[in-house]
Amino acid sequence: MSPQKNPFAPEVPCHRVVTTSLDIGGFQGTTGEDSPFVQKKRTLLAKEGVLFTRVHKVAGLHYDAQLLQ
């Protein structure tokens, strides 16, 4: 997802934005499971503790409650 489509930037980094259906979505202007940028997004999310039900499907909502304060 491009920065101009992230209404919560810069408070919520773009790699944390996923689709409403919990698909990983795009990253750095690209989409598709084969995109190296989307692979990077998945890696960043996984390092933050996000779990996946499939390769590019987030397993429910994951957030740090302190970020909401």
Q: How does pLDDT run along the chain (69 residues), one tens digit per residue?
A: 444 567 777 787 888 888 888 888 888 888 888 899 999 999 999 998 888 888 888 887 655 555 555
Supply the pLDDT for residue 63.
55
Helix (H, G, I), strand (E, B) or coil at 13: coil
Q: What angle do CA 11, 16, 17 make, to 5 degrees?
A: 95
Range list of H helices, 1-69: 36-47
What integer pLDDT is reported at residue 43 of this predicted model? Answer: 92
67/33 Cα distance (integer angstroms): 28
pLDDT score, position 2: 46
